[in-house]
Chains A and B, each alone.
Chain A
Amino acid sequence: MSRVHGAGAAEVHALRGVSLAAYAGELVAIMGPSGSGKSSLLTIAGGLDSPTSGSVTVDGQDLGEAGISGRAKLRRTSIGYVFQDFNLIPALTAGENVALPLELDGASRRQARAAARTALEEVGLDGFADRFPDEMSGGQRQRIAIARAIVGERRLILADEPTGALDTETGEDILKLIRARCDAGAAGVLVTHEPRYASWADRVIYVRDGLVVDEAGETPGALLVDEAGA
């Protein structure tokens, strides 16, 4: 896919024909200098932006064909986003932040809260559901954000510099959680400029000037066979 911003002299090619697949159970890291297009790639993969040409498919669904409301639904149910600055709602408790996407999707309050508690347990925050983000450390806030990204069994986790605001050890803990989720069957795409975090991925892709220039690591063999057979 490609993404062009503006037109004429102000035309900026954020992405120029990038092809990328992340399979279930796989974590893919995207690295590249500032302005290389790596974050554009992630926002398009998550349906927050649309490609100028080309298409994006999540769990068999074409994001372009899904329309605005279809994309919004996919974002509430299938795609989990983790941002560098956590993007939590300060007026809501940890539990409410995590339950929000499910409630927006029409789940009952009780169901949503129960799922939120399970997700918080998974990231090691059992007992923190009633705390407000401001009362928690940076590492704990990012854990809330990860719980929100995985609540309700989402199959695609997109993380944009999730460790950017954290120290090395806390950052490693966050990567362990994302890695564990992928080992449990989710597909993960991580944008980072830090090699130490990228190395948690099965594949590391380098993007420069809107193009994939390099790749380290391997796609799981069995999955490639599946794709060829399909």
Chain B
Amino acid sequence: MSVKHALLALLEKPRYGYELRAEFEQRTGASWPLNVGQVYTTLSRLERDGLVEAGGTDAEGRSLYQLTEAGKVEVKGWFDTPVERTQPQRDELAIKLAVAVAVPSVDVGKVVQQQRNATMQALQGYRRQARSGAGDDLAGGLVLDRLVFAAEAEIRWLDHCEARLRRAAASSTAPEPVEGGDR
């Protein structure tokens, strides 16, 4: 995930490091906590690369960072480019199910059910967060929605796996279907 670009984008207005971290966490509904050291390391790299520069100090003497012209171009480029739809590095769940299907001693249906329960419980947790007001702020709400959609997709996929497993089990016990329907 490009924390670098997210922080850069939030420097639209000059900020000091601690403030930048707080802004990032608040905007993203505190879903991806950053430590302040990470923020300062990123800022010094951005400064080295000419994307941010010192922007004086605030009333309390804290050093502010601001975007350079090159930094503004970089931010625009980030927003103008879709996030690459990469294959998840290692999707443990997909690997687990694939292996489970291949290992005869494993009850695949049970693996699916247990996962679906766990994911449903996570989804219920997001609902509780939303009901407690975590999603009221627009930016935080969008992030929470993202988690809801992702969990929903996983459960739907698990439902689909279950249905396919059942079909496969049924066809392995039933007589072979006749190929070619036009006879």
Contacts and interface: CB of A to CB of B under 8 A. Distances in A.
A196 B120 contact: no
A194 B120 CA distance: 11
Contacts of B126: 199
B156 A216 contact: no
Given A33-B163, A213-B113, A214-B116, A195 B124 contact: no
Contacts of A196: 123, 148-149, 152
Contacts of A215: 117
Contacts of B121: 216-217
A199 B155 CA distance: 11
Contacts of A204: 120, 124
Contacts of B124: 199, 201, 204, 216-217
Interface of A is mostly: mixed
B5 interface: no
A115 interface: no
Given A33-B163, A200-B127, A217-B121, A195 B156 contact: yes
Residue of B117, B123, B124, B156 with most chain A CB atoms under a 10 A cut-off: B124
Contacts of B131: 179
Contacts of B120: 195, 198-199, 204, 216-217
B151 interface: yes
Contact of B127 (A199, A213, A214): A199
Contacts of A33: 159, 163
Interface residues of A, number: 16
A2 B103 CA distance: 36
Interface string B113-144: 10011001101101100010000000000000
B153 to A, nearest CB: 9
Given A195-B151, A196-B152, A200-B127, A216 B117 contact: yes
Nearest to B148: A196
A195 B113 contact: no
Contacts of A217: 120-121, 124
B130 to A, nearest CB: 9
A10 to B, nearest CB: 20
B182 to A, nearest CB: 28
B163 to A, nearest CB: 6
Contacts of A200: 127
Contacts of B123: 195-196, 199
A214 B155 contact: no
A194 B149 CA distance: 11
Contacts of A199: 120, 123-124, 126-127, 148, 151
Contacts of A198: 120
A29 to B, nearest CB: 9
B155 A195 contact: yes
Interface string A188-226: 000000111011110010100000011111000000000
27 contacts: A33-B163, A179-B131, A195-B120, A195-B151, A195-B152, A195-B156, A196-B149, A198-B120, A199-B123, A199-B124, A199-B126, A199-B127, A199-B148, A199-B151, A200-B127, A201-B124, A204-B124, A206-B116, A214-B113, A214-B116, A214-B117, A215-B117, A216-B116, A216-B121, A217-B120, A217-B121, A217-B124
Given A204-B124, A216-B116, A216-B124, 8 more contacts: A179-B131, A195-B151, A196-B123, A196-B152, A198-B120, A199-B123, A201-B124, A216-B121
Interface of B: 113, 116-117, 120-121, 123-124, 126-127, 131, 148-149, 151-152, 155-156, 159, 163
Task: In the A-B complex, list the 10 residue pairs whose CB atoms are closest, starting with the nearest.
Answer: A199-B123, A195-B155, A216-B120, A216-B117, A196-B152, A195-B152, A199-B124, A199-B127, A214-B113, A204-B120
